[in-house]
């Protein structure tokens, strides 16, 4: 067996749930141990995969380039992604892309506490790729399915460690995320129902 660390599977999650995922933890005391966010539906995520509409980019860096991207999912909820000198490819994508554009982002969830004590969640991108509508639509369907599966596990499981942790850490109704999944699917149906101009 090689000791090369394998990359964690990137979890698909709508922005409504991602932005509520404010609790982070490590599985060990090792300094280099991966940091996970706990999704309110009871799953841990070290990496996430999102597809949405890049609506805005801006360089928010002071001394060097540090790009912020605003990505909107089909429900109108927003992910923020930040890329600087340590994510050069993602930063150059944010610099060069012309919003609005569909993008696929794989990255690490990051949380930070504001001066007011709120916790904000953002994505530190490993990659940002411009994609077409078909890729976005497929992501919506798959993300809705995964979300509904997580909710079912959350509601039925008595012994799942992450479900228990989510019940302890969050007081959030899973109905919010079920509605996000259903609304996202409905938005696709509306798009296909609209006659082409």
Confidence band (pLDDT; 50, 70, 90) for 6? low
Q: What percent of the chain has pLDDT over 70?
A: 95
Note the pLDDT of residue 175: 96
pTM passes above 0.85? yes
Q: Give tens-digit pLDDT for 128-149.
A: 999 999 999 999 999 999 999 9
121 phi and psi, to 5 degrees? -120, 135
pLDDT of residue 7: 74
Least confident among 32-36, 85-89, 160-164, 191-195: 191-195
For 20, phi and psi rounded to 5 degrees? -85, -10
- Is the model's pLDDT at 103 over the cut of 60? yes
In this predicted structure, what is the pLDDT of residue 1? 46
What does DSSP say about strands 43-45 and 35-39: parallel, antiparallel, or unpaired?
antiparallel
């Amino acid at each position: 067996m090689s000791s090369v660390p394998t990359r964690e599977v990137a979890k698909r999650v709508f922005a409504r749930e991602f932005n509520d995922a404010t609790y982070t933890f490590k599985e060990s005391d090792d300094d280099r141990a991966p940091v996970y966010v706990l999704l309110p539906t009871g799953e841990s995520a070290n990496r996430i995969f999102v597809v949405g509409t890049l609506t805005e980019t801006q360089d928010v860096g002071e001394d060097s380039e540090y790009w912020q991207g605003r990505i909107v999912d089909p429900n109108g909820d927003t992910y923020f992604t930040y890329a600087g000198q340590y994510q050069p490819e993602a930063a150059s994508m944010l610099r060069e892309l012309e919003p609005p554009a569909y993008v696929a982002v794989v990255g690490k969830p990051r949380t930070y506490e504001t001066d007011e004590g709120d916790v904000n969640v953002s994505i530190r991108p490993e990659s940002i790729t411009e994609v077409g509508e078909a890729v976005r639509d497929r992501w919506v369907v798959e993300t809705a399915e995964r979300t509904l599966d997580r909710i079912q596990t959350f509601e039925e499981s008595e012994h799942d460690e992450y479900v228990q942790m989510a019940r302890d850490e969050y007081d959030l109704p899973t109905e919010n995320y079920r509605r996000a999944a259903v609304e996202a699917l409905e938005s696709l149906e509306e798009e296909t129902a609209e006659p082409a101009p």
